[in-house]
Amino acid sequence: MSQTAGRVIVRVPAKINLQLAVGPLRPDGFHELATVFCALDLCDVLTASPAGSLTLDVQGPEGAGLAADRNNLAWRAAELLAGHAGVPARVGLHIEKNIPVAAGLAGGSADAAAALLACDRLWGLHLPAPELAALAARLGSDVAFALLGGTAVGAGRGERLRPIEGAASFSWVLAAADGGLATPAVYAELDRQRGLGDDAPAPVVADPAATLAASGVAEAVTSGDPELLAGRLGNDLQPAALALAPYLADTLAAGQKCGALAGLVSGSGPTCAFLARDGEHARTLARALAGTGSCRQAFAVTGGTARPTVLG
Ligand code: ATP
C-alpha cells in the first residue's frame, strides 16, 4: 500500500485453489469447504482518493462492462467499512481491472479486500487485522484470503484461514475463457450432480477437511517440487464447471498436450490453471497454448507468495 498526496494505492492479487474439497450443503445455503488458496502475481490496482462522496470508476483490460456502482464489491466494501466505523463513506475509488471477471479467480473479492485496506488507511481508522478480516468475511467467502495473500488453507466457507508457512512459489499458465461462469450456478450444478433435489435425501458427501488432508497438497506446496504438487491438485467443482462449459474439456486437453505437468479448472471456472516446471517452461507453455485457439488468452503467472502490496 502507498499513500501519496492523500491517495492510497493498493495492488491486490487474484487466486487459484490448489485443492477445493466441497462438503455438504449447510442449512445457511453455503457449502462447507476445505481448500488451499494460492495468490497469484496477477493483480488489480485500486486507488482511493479523498472525495465528497462515494464514487467509483473502473478501467483496465478486463474492466469492460463491470458495474461501477453498488453492485461492485469494492463499493460495498467501502460502505460496509464506513458503516462499521461510523464515518461518512467519502472516497473516490478507481480500479484498474486486470483480473478477468467471473472467471474463478476471485477478482471481485480482491477488489473488496483492496477497498477495505485502502479506505481503512485513507480514513485513518487503522482497524486491527482481525476486525478487517471479519468485515471481509461478510462481503464474500474469498475476501478474507484476498486480504492475506500467500498460500493458505481455508475452512468454513473459505473465510477461516491458516497460512501455510514456508509455502514455495510455483509457475503457472492461466487460460482465460471468453465467457464467465456464475459461482452459484456451478454450486447448484454440483448439487444436481450429487442428486440433491428438494425431495431427495441428503447425499453422503466426504468430509472436506479429510479430503484435503488426504490429498497431501499442503505438504507439496512447502516441498517446492512442482512434479510432486502436480499429482496433488484437485477441484470438486470441476465436473460441474465442465457440465456448464463443455468447451473447457478442450482447454484442459490442450494444456496437457502442450506439456503442462497438470491442469485444473480454477475455482468455479471457467479459467483453467496449468502447472509448469519453472518460469521458462510456463512462458513456452503459454505461447503453445495460445496457439491452439482453445482459450481467449494464455499467460504465465507465479503463484504462492503474492500479497496485497504497496506500489513502488
Ligand atoms: P467468486 O469469487 O464468487 O468465485 P469469481 O472469482 O468467479 O467469483 P469475480 O470476478 O469475483 O468472479 O466476479 C463474480 C461476480 O461479482 C460477477 O458477476 C461480477 O459482476 C461481480 N462483481 C462485483 N464487483 C466486482 C469486481 N470489482 N470485480 C469483478 N467482479 C465483480
pLDDT digits 0-9 by tens, 19-45: 999 998 889 989 999 999 999 999 999
pLDDT at 269 over 90: yes
Q: Which atom of ligand 1 is nearest to the CA of 112?
A: 27
Return the CATH architecture of domain 170-303: 2-Layer Sandwich (3.30)
Cα-based distances in Å from 212 to 20, 22, 33, 148, 237: 8, 10, 9, 20, 14
pLDDT in tens, 214-225: 899 999 999 999
Instruction: State whether the Cα torsion 221-226-227-233 is positive or negative.
Output: positive
**Does residue 173 have a pLDDT over 60?**
yes
pLDDT in tens, 66-94: 999 999 999 999 999 999 999 999 999 99
Pick the residue whose CA is nearest to atom 3 on ligand 1: 183
pLDDT at site 6: 87
Q: Which of 10, 101, 142 to mutate to test the pocket of ligand 1 (most atoms within 8 A of CB)?
A: 101
Of the two residues 281 and 2, the one the predictor is more confident about is: 281
Ligand 1 centre distance from Cα of residue 310 (Å):
23
Of all protein residues, whose CA lies closest to atom 29 belonging to ligand 1?
Answer: 108
Residue (of 98, 295, 68) closest to 179 by Cα position: 295
- pTM, to two decimals: 0.94
Domain locations in the chain? 3-165, 170-303
Cis peptide before 270 (omega within 30 of 0): yes
Among 3-7, 107-111, 173-177, the least confident range: 3-7
Percent share of the chain, pLDDT over 70: 95
Ligand 1 centre and the CA of 71: distance in Å? Answer: 10
Residue 170 in this model has a pLDDT that exceeds 60: yes
Domain 3-165 has CATH 3.30.2320.80: no
**DSSP assignment of 243-284:** HH-TTHHHHHHHHHHTT-SEEEE-TTSS-EEEEESSHHHHHH
